[in-house]
Structure 1
Amino acid sequence: MCFARLPVAEAAATDAPPNIVLIISDDQAWTDYGFMGHEAIETPNLDQLAQSGITFRRGYVPTALCRPSLATLVTGLYAHKHLITGNDPARTAANRAHAQRAGVDPRELLISNIDKHPTLPRLLAERGYLSFQCGKWWEGSYQRGGFTHGMTRGYPERGGRHGDDGLEIGRQGMQPVFDFIDTATDAGKPFFLWYAPFLPHSPHNPPERILAKYRQQGRPKSVAKYYAMCEWFDETCGQLLDRLDEKHLAENTLVIYVTDNGWIQDPQSSSYAARSKRSPYEGGIRTPIMFSWPGKLQPAERPELCSSIDIAPTILAAAGAEIPDNLPGENLLPYLQDEAVIDRDTIYGESFAHDIADIEDPRASLLHRWVIRGNDKLLLTYDGVPGKMKFPPGSDAPQLYDLEADPNEQTNLAAQEPEVVDELGNLLNEWYAVSESKVKEAGVEHDDDRPQRPNILLVFADDQRNHTLGYAGHPVVKTPNIDQLAADGVRFENTFVTTSTCWSSRACLFTGCYERKHLYQVRPGPLNPQLCQSSYFAVLKAAGYRTGHLGKEHVTIDKPSAEAMFDVRRRIGRNPYFKPQPDGTKRHETQILGDWGIEFIKSQPAEQPFCLTISFNASHAEDGDHRPGIGHYPWPKVTDGMYEDQEMPLPRLDDPAIYASQPQFLKDSINRQRYFWRWDASEKYQTNMRAYFRMISGIDHVVGRLVKQLEEQGLADNTVIIYTADNGYYLGDRGFAGKWTHYEESLRVPLVIYDPRLPTEAKGKVRQEMALNSDLASTMIDLAGETPPVAHSGRSLVPLVRGATVADWRTDFLCEFLAVPKTIPRWEGVRDTDWVYARYFVDGPGESPYEFLHSLEEDPDELVNIAMLPPDQQSAAQREALDAMRNRCDALIAEQGPAMDQLPGK
């Protein structure tokens, strides 16, 4: 829709063309400035810009994702017009076909869209402008956008995905900008500066001198870092504006400020929270927009709606350049100069999937269209190819909000005000009509090249530490089928459970939450029904998946929750392992679960994807069998004789001195009691280790059976297989058996994710990032193309599986054990990449806890407890680390649930 244009102000046409500086923040909430009233963040330079210019507090970007938002700024077009709707082209048949026809790869084909439009630098060049690009820039080299000068070399150069050398600006100083300003002024040319620094975008690594201002008790580290990044960005803006003053250029320079998209800092991680970046909600699309031109524009705060789509025509008008007829935005300059009310009360926007399903058809990735008229806001949702959004997708039903009464968009008024929905819906259709041939009942009818949703098979072992697999280098145990999954998939070297015990770990898996949040067995009763509704089973079942759980649940689930979660549910008791069969024989439960899994796969409807979890009791001991000379690990017959003549390696940390160094409460715990059941004598140890490894090899045998069945049914090429375990396991190390503690042997588990759809170069990779059992729920939902619920504490591992580098990935996690204080003291702690901290409440909450602190760099086996060293034996760095880890533990607990002394059963 084109708006009626007022004539360009006479001054702009007759005076010397102004210099134009476009400042673009990267990932910053509209609230996070001093002039917008933030209680902590200091932005004195942008505050001054707001005070000296015209500020629209109700500014918006049409698309809340960096690449399409920046493309809108440089072209003046909506994303569905410039066709750069997402950050990356998806690996779809449509994109491959388009690229093949063009004789280029899909990324180059996407970039070529920038060649089709008269960008701001090209249009300004006609008026004699020099232009400089620095910071974020996705569309190839700076020359591709028409800039005369710039920093980004561009794809396919190394690092050329979204900025390469340009991303150094601001973070590593401002000299390239200063040099360009000197070049332009020495040449007597007006200039256009694109200043889009990679700030406050992650990685959130602000200078310590700024970060120190934002550290305070109770403020999560991630929040403090983000706050400091906002100030760091503001500081660079001040350096730029000061340079204009020093060069006596400020009086003839139009400075415009906008952000590419919103950001709400997630206090639980370094990422963004729901309803911010990439969402069509206020936290994603709203931004202050400012125009400062001393002597030409009188300072004011404007109440009208303003959109970044207006920036291109306004810049061209200020420069006296021709405004293309196809630009839909409003030339605001006459309104700003004459202080007239903008003759418009409606703005529009859209959101698309992160990855572009069809480079030539934006409808294939369309997720939302939105319109704001006055204070009424309408959202319409679509069934485009899903991206990795951080907000609930809603439903096909419209969402209508009153932004004045309900600025946080909590109350959907669509049902109460259908006439407003109709009016705004008609406006949306006038603005961007999605053709009936592609849309049905507010959902996109995809072509046959839409990526098929994968089947998901989760194989869940019991009591298995990360090292007890062939691919992990174990010298004895044989697991050829799991090893093959690792060779063809992705292996996560640093995978942990947040609570090391069977039932809590399963509850964490189901719900995607910490124990502190789901509190299963801390509180009486079944698993939290509300969290069951956001479990991966319930989300995927609602999305059309056939869901199944076979085997050991060890979690009580009420009937309504179970109905929402499972299509197929077959439970199996723990002991004994050999179960009577109808023909009078006995069969090992591991093989029974293999039978059930094959039955599930055989009965799978051809057109429906499935998500199946097979939860083994193996390799858990049969605790009730204490007969001398008999192994506690009954193995299936298929592994009879394995390891019979092999000498089992002794536990590396089974040193009496290591056990002696443990506090008395651990010496008295069931970790020590069960050591005497299994590991204390040489013959007993050898017998039990052989039996234990036969159990693991029995699971591996079932994995092979399942893979074969998938191949026979033609499902193998579209089935993601995940292998992991519920907790680590002591095999005699430290003089212990079992789990339940903060040590690595207890917390660390294997994790392999095999996705047959991965390209060859992505297979066989080993990722070092921290992965958690609570990540798997979000991961499976993301694999299915759905949005992980906000309730999840975990994060999707899919970007890492696909080879991405995630700059803001976690560097620590909360670990805890809360449920059975009479058997194991309750404890809580933090593990990061350098330190492990834990505090055990031996005498109950309210008493001084017994603390542990280990340096993973200096003491990877966690043999020295720094927390219990006399103060004169602790270094300054160790004392600082102890205080920091205590505070971090407090912060993580505050994010997840009640403090220890507020838990039930204290």
Structure 2
Amino acid sequence: MSDRERPNVLLITSDQHRADAMACAGHPAVRTPHLDRLAYEGVRFSNAYVDCPVCIPARSALISGRRAHELGCCSYSTGFRMPVPREDLLGSRLTAAGYQTELVGKTHWFLPPSDRGGFEHVTWMAGLRRAQFAYSDGRPGMQAGLGYNEFDPAPSAFPPHLHTTNWCVEQGCRFLETREEGTPFGLWISVQDPHPPMVIHEPYFSMYDDADLGEPVVPGWIGTDGEPLTNYTERVGWNKKPFTPEEIHRIRSVYLGMVTNLDHQLGRLIAQLQMLGAWDDTLVIYSSDHGEMLGDAGMFSKRCFLEASAKVPLIVRPPASWGLEPGRVCDDLVEWADVLPTLCEAAGAGTPAGVTGRSLMPSLRGEAREPHLLHGQLDERHMLHDGRFKYLWSAADGRELCFDTAADPHDEHPLHGEPLDRMRGLFVEHLAAEHHPHLRDGTLVNERRERPTPAQLRALDRAGLGPTEHLGQALRDTMWIG
């Protein structure tokens, strides 16, 4: 395949952007004109998931094409290193295929913090840290004093050009301006919004103050004996002081403001490609590493397999020269591990052996995609998805849930009878085929853990053993190192 036939590649990933927070996905309030444009010129995948809704394992699945539990670690772990040859990672495949490769922004994967993952060059977030430090004359409190997973909104203390999303897009535009002509590029821009802290500048901070954002959806099974222990500990552990309705509206409105700022910055990238004459020859993929509960199910953050957390936006805009039908919505079951084989096929880079992901190219062409099962795991939590029905198993206490995701987009109505029995049977068969340790002698593992009280969860958190134990390390690993 000649350079003229191979598309440029622009991969854009965000952090904690839930799938329904786009106008093209039907959100009644948020304005996302440039994401909408990508969807109108390409394909929006309405049934896209991550197999582990936490930053590090999700991003590792993206660059390896393998699910997190197959890599050997399905949790937030800064010390684990994936057992995948470097030459099989996404950056390495594109670089070896003759692409000029650049990664801008957040990495946060199962690799050493300084590892480029096969990309020729990485523009680390440390550059932004230095710029913010200089702007503030070395004073602390660069994010209004808020921690990396706090949900108390605050206006940014920095001008727009020093906001993380804006800075990353600016670095991406500089790469496009100075790249080597005649060589296809592989540019990955990895931004942190709309991940907390809920900090943004105007007009985005107050853009949705008066918008009707509705109320969080809290299913009736939340807080009952049927709620899995792992769901309970996340819900209670992260929400030690319940937010008032006014506070929840403020969080949701600022979150959408961060999404719109991200979208407007994507408009700069599109304009840059158009001015350089590269837009029609560029394959663009937009997605996010997990969603955000935003009060649904009484929860904030992610770390569960409910739809608002595990389902993600995924838009693929093919080059105009491919002549594919634009503006389609595809409901094929897809996942983040599919990105690597998709880009490898498009770039003529050769898909490495052993990947779980499957190329999205048939779906882009409108062809039928062979049905499959998606197994996700986060610590002791499991998800098995067949494209419509989603089965959840908690090995901590043996509780299970099953939902019809097509008819029940907010996980409100647990299913019983035939759908539950069928999905449980498929799950047992799948674990048996994987020789998974959470299946013993044909029986699903139940550790029969007791449910801690809210006071016990708070005590664990104060001791550094609760949901916030990783916050300091997360700040060091992702915000400033990569």
Interval of TM-score (by shorter of Structure 1 and Structure 2): 0.7 to 0.9
Report the Cα distance in structure 1 between the residues aligned to 2:395 and 2:193, rounded to whole angstroms.
Answer: 31
Scaled by the length of structure 1, the TM-score of the pair is 0.43
Compared with structure 1, are the counterparts of its residues 771 and 561 closer, same or farther at alpha carbon in structure 2 (3 Å cutoff)? same
Report the Cα distance in structure 1 between the residues aligned to 2:36 and 2:106, rounded to whole angstroms.
Answer: 24
Q: Structure 2 counterpart of 1:604, which letter?
A: R
Report the Cα distance in structure 2 between the residues aligned to 1:828 and 1:574, rounded to whole angstroms.
Answer: 38
Q: Structure 2 counterpart of 1:517, which letter?
A: E
2:45 alignment partner in structure 1: 492
Q: Structure 1 counterpart of 2:90, which letter?
A: Y
Q: In the alignment, is the contact (CA less than 8 A) between 1:574 and 1:617 conserved in 2?
A: no
What's the CA shift for 1:719?
1.2
Runs of 5+ unmatched residues, structure 1: 1-384, 386-445, 623-632, 819-825, 844-848, 867-873
Report the 3-state secondary structure (helix = DSSP H, G, I; strand = E; otherwise coil) of the residue aligned with 1:467.
Answer: coil
1:739 alignment partner in structure 2: 302
Q: In the alignment, is the contact (CA less than 8 A) between 1:552 and 1:574 conserved in 2?
A: no
Report the 3-state secondary structure (helix = DSSP H, G, I; strand = E; otherwise coil) of the residue aligned with 2:269.
Answer: helix
Identity among equivalent pairs (%)? 25
Report the 3-state secondary structure (helix = DSSP H, G, I; strand = E; otherwise coil) of the residue aligned with 2:309.
Answer: helix
Q: Structure 2 counterpart of 1:654, which letter?
A: V
Report the Cα distance in structure 1 between the residues aligned to 2:405 and 2:136, rounded to whole angstroms.
Answer: 55
Question: After superposition, what is the alpha-carbon deviation per residue over 1:708-756, rounded to whole angstroms, capped at 9, x for unaligned?
Answer: 1111112111111111000122111111112222222221111111113
Matches within 5 A, 1:296-335: none
Q: Structure 1 counterpart of 2:401, which letter?
A: F
* From 219, 223, 235, the counterpart of 1:671: 235
Question: After superposition, what is the alpha-carbon deviation per residue over 1:426-456, rounded to whole angstroms, capped at 9, x for unaligned?
Answer: xxxxxxxxxxxxxxxxxxxx7xxx7421111
1:510 alignment partner in structure 2: 63
Question: After superposition, what is the alpha-carbon deviation per residue over 1:335-381, rounded to whole angstroms, capped at 9, x for unaligned?
Answer: xxxxxxxxxxxxxxxxxxxxxxxxxxxxxxxxxxxxxxxxxxxxxxx
Relative contact order, CA 8 A, sep 6+: which one is greater? 2
Is 1:642 the counterpart of 2:207? The answer is yes
Is 1:772 the counterpart of 2:335? The answer is yes
Is 1:545 the counterpart of 2:104? The answer is no
Q: In the alignment, is the contact (CA less than 8 A) between 2:7 and 2:282 conserved in 1?
A: yes
Q: In the alignment, is the contact (CA less than 8 A) between 1:537 and 1:566 conserved in 2?
A: yes
Q: In the alignment, is the contact (CA less than 8 A) between 1:590 and 1:636 conserved in 2?
A: no
Is 1:591 the counterpart of 2:166? The answer is yes
2:193 alignment partner in structure 1: 618
Matches within 5 A, 1:687-702: 687-702=250-265
Q: Structure 2 counterpart of 1:812, which letter?
A: L
Q: Structure 2 counterpart of 1:730, which letter?
A: M
Report the Cα distance in structure 2 between the residues aligned to 1:640 and 1:865, rounded to whole angstroms.
Answer: 37
What's the CA shift for 1:560?
9.4
Report the Cα distance in structure 2 between the residues aligned to 1:552 and 1:671, rounded to whole angstroms.
Answer: 27
What's the CA shift for 1:607?
1.4
Matches within 5 A, 1:494-893: 494-520=47-73, 525=79, 527-528=81-82, 530-558=84-112, 562=116, 565-572=118-125, 579-581=132-134, 587-622=162-197, 633-637=198-202, 639-651=204-216, 653-654=217-218, 658-660=222-224, 662-663=226-227, 665-666=229-230, 668-675=232-239, 680-757=243-320, 762-806=325-369, 809-818=370-379, 826-842=380-396, 849-856=398-405, 861-866=410-415, 875=417, 878-891=420-433, 893=434
The aligned length equals 418
Q: In the alignment, is the contact (CA less than 8 A) between 1:636 and 1:698 conserved in 2?
A: no
Q: Structure 1 counterpart of 2:186, which letter?
A: C
Matches within 5 A, 1:176-195: none
Report the Cα distance in structure 1 between the residues aligned to 2:341 and 2:288, rounded to whole angstroms.
Answer: 17
What's the CA shift for 1:676?
5.3
Report the Cα distance in structure 2 between the residues aligned to 1:615 and 1:745, rounded to whole angstroms.
Answer: 21
Report the Cα distance in structure 1 between the residues aligned to 2:127 and 2:335, rounded to whole angstroms.
Answer: 25
What's the CA shift for 1:572?
2.0
Q: Structure 2 counterpart of 1:886, which letter?
A: V
Scaled by the length of structure 2, the TM-score of the pair is 0.78
Q: In the alignment, is the contact (CA less than 8 A) between 2:59 and 2:109 conserved in 1?
A: yes
Two-structure CA RMSD over aligned residues (Å): 3.1
Report the 3-state secondary structure (helix = DSSP H, G, I; strand = E; otherwise coil) of the residue aligned with 1:811.
Answer: coil
Report the Cα distance in structure 2 between the residues aligned to 1:667 and 1:812, rounded to whole angstroms.
Answer: 23
Question: After superposition, what is the alpha-carbon deviation per residue over 1:567-613, rounded to whole angstroms, capped at 9, x for unaligned?
Answer: 11122279999934569665211111111111111121001111111
Q: In the alignment, is the contact (CA less than 8 A) between 1:814 and 1:829 conserved in 2?
A: yes
What's the CA shift for 1:647?
3.2
Compared with structure 1, are the counterparts of its residues 836 and 787 closer, same or farther at alpha carbon in structure 2 (3 Å cutoff)? same
Question: After superposition, what is the alpha-carbon deviation per residue over 1:685-723, rounded to whole angstroms, capped at 9, x for unaligned?
Answer: 121111101111111011001111111112111111111
The structure having more radius of gyration, on CA atoms, is 1
Q: In the alignment, is the contact (CA less than 8 A) between 1:717 and 1:757 conserved in 2?
A: yes
Report the 3-state secondary structure (helix = DSSP H, G, I; strand = E; otherwise coil) of the residue aligned with 1:606.
Answer: coil
Q: In the alignment, is the contact (CA less than 8 A) between 2:390 and 2:404 conserved in 1?
A: yes
What's the CA shift for 1:802?
2.4
Compared with structure 1, are the counterparts of its residues 709 and 858 closer, same or farther at alpha carbon in structure 2 (3 Å cutoff)? closer
Q: Structure 2 counterpart of 1:453, which letter?
A: R
Report the Cα distance in structure 2 between the residues aligned to 1:760 and 1:880, rounded to whole angstroms.
Answer: 41
Q: In the alignment, is the contact (CA less than 8 A) between 1:671 and 1:738 conserved in 2?
A: no
Runs of 5+ unmatched residues, structure 2: 138-157, 441-446, 448-482
Q: In the alignment, is the contact (CA less than 8 A) between 1:510 and 1:536 conserved in 2?
A: yes
Compared with structure 1, are the counterparts of its residues 671 and 531 closer, same or farther at alpha carbon in structure 2 (3 Å cutoff)? farther
Compared with structure 1, are the counterparts of its residues 748 and 878 closer, same or farther at alpha carbon in structure 2 (3 Å cutoff)? closer
Q: In the alignment, is the contact (CA less than 8 A) between 1:551 and 1:570 conserved in 2?
A: yes
Q: Structure 2 counterpart of 1:729, which letter?
A: E
What's the CA shift for 1:875?
3.8
Compared with structure 1, are the counterparts of its residues 658 and 901 closer, same or farther at alpha carbon in structure 2 (3 Å cutoff)? closer
Compared with structure 1, are the counterparts of its residues 899 and 524 closer, same or farther at alpha carbon in structure 2 (3 Å cutoff)? farther
Q: Structure 2 counterpart of 1:899, which letter?
A: P
Q: In the alignment, is the contact (CA less than 8 A) between 1:510 and 1:532 conserved in 2?
A: no
